[in-house]
Structure 1
Amino acid sequence: MPVTVVRFNLVEPGATPASLSARYKAAVEMARYADDRGITTVQTEEHHGVANNWLPSPFAFAGAVFGATRNVAVTVSAVIGPLHDPLRLAEDIAVLDLLSGGRLVTVAGIGYRPEEYALFDVDWKQRGRLQDELLETVLKAWTGEEFRYRGRTVRVTPRPFSDPHPLLLVGGSSRPAARRAARLGLPFFPSAHLPELEAYYKERLVEYGTEGWTMMPAAETPLLHIAEDPDRAWAEYGTHFLHE
């Protein structure tokens, strides 16, 4: 079955609370419409403190989409892992996995904007270590068993719906990201078409004795917009295409 995706970042430069509220509600209705017509995936992602009002809370949005749909998956691509508390993120993803019956897909990246780390008072230079801790923690948390976390014994409940755990991919376009995914036996999602990085990931799978797969973006991202009057369509939508 082909994967068909609609993507929402919910940006609106110069928005008012009323206009953003209308935009968010429209996005949920569009997701419902897409679900009724066989679209397989709604994709969204997080950014913080952006002047164009980019969506900062993709899991809250995912919950609204799940409440309005029956079949469509929601892919959060990507969540900026080091900005999240590992235990709370494990809980939030588990609850969404339970609510949706396993329709949540999470891609964990480390981001590329130091100002987002500054906003949450997280050390940019520690992002690799924090990402390792986050991924290791959520995987342990989803077992429902006790484990050691920052010097204490913890247990996270409830267990998610998906077995052995909700679909979690490691995002990134660097060798450390590929190595991290291979070490943990998680799928790898490069943010660009990088066959050499996929090859490196597969080599590390062999090294670590783990299993995984790659979700590789296409080499080019085509745009096809059907219009009876291309000039009029470009005048109306062109700035949005260019922004995207």
Structure 2
Amino acid sequence: MKNAIKTIASSVLCIYTAFAFSAESMCTQQSGKNKLPVVELYTSEGCSSCPPADQWLSHLKGQSAVVEAFHVGYWDQLGWVDRFATPAHTVRQRQVSAWNQLSSIYTPQAVLNGKDWARWGGNVADTAAEPGLATISLHQLGPDQFEAMVTPVAGAPGHWSAYWTVTENGYSSKVQAGENAGEFLKHDFVVRQYVSAGVYTSDASAAQKLAFRSIARSPDHPRQVNLVVFDPQTGKTLQAITAPC
């Protein structure tokens, strides 16, 4: 009898696992004709001028865009360590600064399609639509496993690069020190994983396959899996895609 119960339980588990995998593998996304806007916000929990920018970013929920909050750690020296910050985020911000010929980095800094956006605000949908210079097809292959096919189109630069991010919503922090001491901060679109995907030669006759293994999904924080394709010489976005996988 015990063996029979174990057999039934095992069968149910297999069926459930197969169903879950099937549901995840159905998560696919295809880029459109126009470029999907990419908004990057460089922010820190230790920066007193950052909360208004964080709040604005949260208002971008539901808009057709890749939205990313890159937390940086160079404010940590004031006494509060931002748990979302990584050195890789600061490295990317320095690269963005170089592309834009800025003399320094700062927070909050908003970037739209690779360009410094000093007068950030409002809706991303208000920006002028531009044709995409690449097509992207994204598929989820299994739990936290993804694959994308990227194909440059006419007008694309000779080389292109890409990066993956996983962004998550619904975080909050009670800050105990630094410029925001005593503040209760809320965060959405927090970059929890950032992975460079290399540099490739443009070839409109062949698609490039990009594989990605993401961090595990958090049941408490809805996530987006994003792929951004850009010009490695200028940082300009060529095309992007986001999926709530």
Give the alignment's TM-score, normalised by structure 1.
0.28
Answer 1 or 2: which has greater strand percent: 2
Larger radius of gyration: 2
Answer 1 or 2: which has greater helix percent: 1
Higher RCO structure, 1 or 2 (CA under 8 Å, sep 6+) = 2
Give the alignment's TM-score, normalised by structure 2.
0.28
